[in-house]
Amino acid sequence: MTKQNSARIIGTGAYVPSKVLTNHDLEKLMDTSDEWIQEKYGIKERRIVSEDQEQNISDLSYNSAIKALESAKIHAEELDLIIIASIYSDIRSPATACILQGKLGAKNAVAFDMNIGGCPNAVFAMTTALKFLDGVRFKRALVVCTEIYSRFIDWSYRNTACFLGDGSGAVILESCPKEEGVLAYNLYTDGTKYNKAWWPGGGTVDVLPNQKTPHIEGKDVWEFGNTATPNVIIETVSDAGLEMKEIDFVIFHQANVNIINNVMDMIGLPRERTYMNNYKYGNTGGASSLIALDEAIHLGKIKRGDKLAICSYGAGLAWGSMVLNY
Amino acid sequence: MTKQNSARIIGTGAYVPSKVLTNHDLEKLMDTSDEWIQEKYGIKERRIVSEDQEQNISDLSYNSAIKALESAKIHAEELDLIIIASIYSDIRSPATACILQGKLGAKNAVAFDMNIGGCPNAVFAMTTALKFLDGVRFKRALVVCTEIYSRFIDWSYRNTACFLGDGSGAVILESCPKEEGVLAYNLYTDGTKYNKAWWPGGGTVDVLPNQKTPHIEGKDVWEFGNTATPNVIIETVSDAGLEMKEIDFVIFHQANVNIINNVMDMIGLPRERTYMNNYKYGNTGGASSLIALDEAIHLGKIKRGDKLAICSYGAGLAWGSMVLNY
């Protein structure tokens, strides 16, 4: 972990599109069932953008960012850094974060996009912001994770289409003295396993068409989720100088309720110390950790003074955890 | 500027595809002339990937990265961070940096992609690496800027097709005590002007087709290049506690020889203290600063102990400069 200044969360926000797609709706599109999806993933419905509205990465990001700014009680001009982490962008160039900067009027910010693999993005982007927050040039950072999977999904391919959803989560980090905010983090990627969870198309390998079927080696990703995830949380809690029982709440990437329950059992924390919302949103990639964080705060499950662990993992393969004082 | 540890350049590498496309070749594809292109941009020819070879972002990046590792005399296992900055990726997910991590066998690295707008990427990605290099978890970072514009260009649209080229540049940064490496940096983005230099397609706005015509407001970008660029160099040299005359060499993004000559005149340095290679490669986006850096080092124009300024700018709008001891 780093020895520099730390950073604390001063605001969060979340946005999901209003259009609901239920498992029963999916039954009409593909050979699947509400029962099978709920048992395998814990998902009942998900939100997707409407094709009749202009809803792009910058639009969803704007909506979650505005809520995060309100929650932090700061103006956009007070932001020094804007990071959007997504597997998509509005357009090829420039970064969607620049477009968002313009929409927010965040005239003092530096803006860029980053990506690890979608699902793991939240902890990686928050750590990148933490690294920038030196308290001198960079005092406040907006981190937004947004995915619009629905526009790229092959809706007839039931293995992946049934568990994805659209959404955006945002967090505002502010530079603070050591020990007051983030206590420790750990990030890992293993690119030798990039093809365990990958999404073809959209890049130089296949310029056209934009293929629409993500490929997931279910068994391998299940094993990965159930080993890498508890290990990185245990390591990061230890790096923070804490015992696991001191962790008041854990926020996970919302891929799968069964993995989350398993991992809570493995790290020895009661399941009440986590929050799951993928029953209503599905897997919204990097957005999922930040949407869950925002909702858990609004529900009073996470309170100021709590010791919080965040863990996100997925395509890369990539996994990471951050432990902080909320 | 930051007060944390600094970082120094311990290796550089560059790679361009072997296939040459001359202005005379372009005369057969579009209504243009060798004379017009040379006068307007200073470009005689550019390199483009072959369609009969597998040349993607990770392949070009691998080739420049291997040279940078050789130049730094380190093994891939000694890398703690890999950043690829590009407006493209190999595939939709995961990050191309993860794929590169696997190809290099850089098993101890954390890998991610980032993007600002293509052309400005080098200084932004180097600064991001600098921010990560705490000397504890992160000691050595590989930064690669790669673009494969040729696969997305509309070759019949002469206003933009004639000035772009493909290539990859790499740099390895190592954590070092303050004052020994990077002395100062400044980054700026102005997303209210994102549509002064933008490339539609490839994102959520236009999923299909991948449109192929970047739009550049030539007059605005010319003015931007001739004002933002000298200003950010002057500011960064001052932040480094130096006088301009102490700067031994300046490396620019290779957009346009006329802008580079103007800026050298404006900051009051002799034109011999810069290096231009876009006559043979065109504008290779973020790669161009790093390819120019590598070539200038190999040509003996930049020597150990020199005070170096790097400046990259372009779509975002985004501009930045870094001043360092080489």
Nearest Cα neighbor of B48 from B197, B218, B168 is B168
Marked catalytic residue, from A98, A119, A162, A311: A119
Residue of A nearest to B146 (CA): A204
pLDDT grade for B98, boundaries at 50, 70 and 90: very high
Q: Do residues A15 and A63 touch, judged by C-beta distance below 8 A?
A: yes
Q: Do residues B41 and A189 touch, judged by C-beta distance below 8 A?
A: no
- What angle, 0 to 180 degrees and rounded to 10, lies between the N-to-C axes of helices B121-132 and A121-132? 90
The mean of the pLDDT values for chain A is 93
Q: Which residues of chain B make contact with A4, given a CB cutoff of 8 A? A: 4, 134
Q: What is the pTM of this model?
A: 0.96
Does ipTM come in above 0.90?
yes
pLDDT digits (tens, 9 = 90+) for B171-212: 999 999 988 999 999 999 999 999 999 988 888 887 665 567
Residue of B nearest to A86 (CA): B93
Biggest CA-to-CA distance, chain B: 56
Q: What is the rounded CA–CA span in Å between residue A165 and residue B166? A: 36
Element (H, E) at A27: helix A23-29
Q: Which residues of chain B make contact with A131, given a CB cutoff of 8 A? A: 128, 131-132, 134
Centre a 10 Å sphere on the Cβ of residue A107 and count the other Cβ atoms it contains: 14
Marked catalytic residue, from B119, B145, B162, B311: B119
Q: Do residues B57 and B90 touch, judged by C-beta distance below 8 A?
A: yes
pLDDT at B1 over 60: no
Contact between chains at B91 and A200 (C-beta distance less than 8 A): yes
Going from the N-terminus, what domains does chain A have, and what CATH number goes with each?
6-176 (3.40.47.10), 182-325 (3.40.47.10)
Q: Tell the residue number behind the tokens 């990050």, with chain if given.
A: B95
Query: Which amino acid, residue A161?
Result: A
What's the mean pLDDT in A11-28? 95
Q: What is the rounded CA–CA span in Å between residue B46 and residue B22? A: 6
pLDDT digits (tens, 9 = 90+) for A129-176: 999 999 999 999 999 999 999 888 877 777 778 889 999 999 999 999
Tell how strand A45-47 and strand B215-216 pair up: unpaired
Does the annotation mark A75 as catalytic?
Answer: no
Q: Which residues of chain A make contact with B187, given a CB cutoff of 8 A? A: 110
Q: What is the rounded CA–CA span in Å between residue B185 and residue B183? A: 7
Residue of B nearest to A200 (CA): B91
Report the b/e string of A266-290 with b at 16+ CB within 10 A.
ebebeeebbbbbbebbbbbbbbbbb
Q: Best residue in A6, A56, A98, A216 to probe B by mutation, most B CBs within 10 Å?
A: A98
pLDDT at B12 over 50: yes
pLDDT digits (tens, 9 = 90+) for A306-315: 999 999 999 9
Nearest Cα neighbor of A173 from A4, A1, A10, A5 is A10
pLDDT digits (tens, 9 = 90+) for A230-288: 999 999 999 999 999 999 999 999 998 999 999 999 999 999 999 999 999 999 999 99
pLDDT (0 to 100) of residue B202: 80
Report the b/e string of B15-40 with b at 16+ CB within 10 A.
bbbebebebeebeeeeebebeebeee
Contact between chains at A207 and B209 (C-beta distance less than 8 A): no
Q: Which residues of chain B make contact with A209, given a CB cutoff of 8 A? A: 208
Cα atoms in the 13 Å half-sphere on the side-chain side of B72: 27
CA-based nearest distance B16→chain A, Å = 16
Nearest Cα neighbor of A312 from A125, A143, A161 is A125
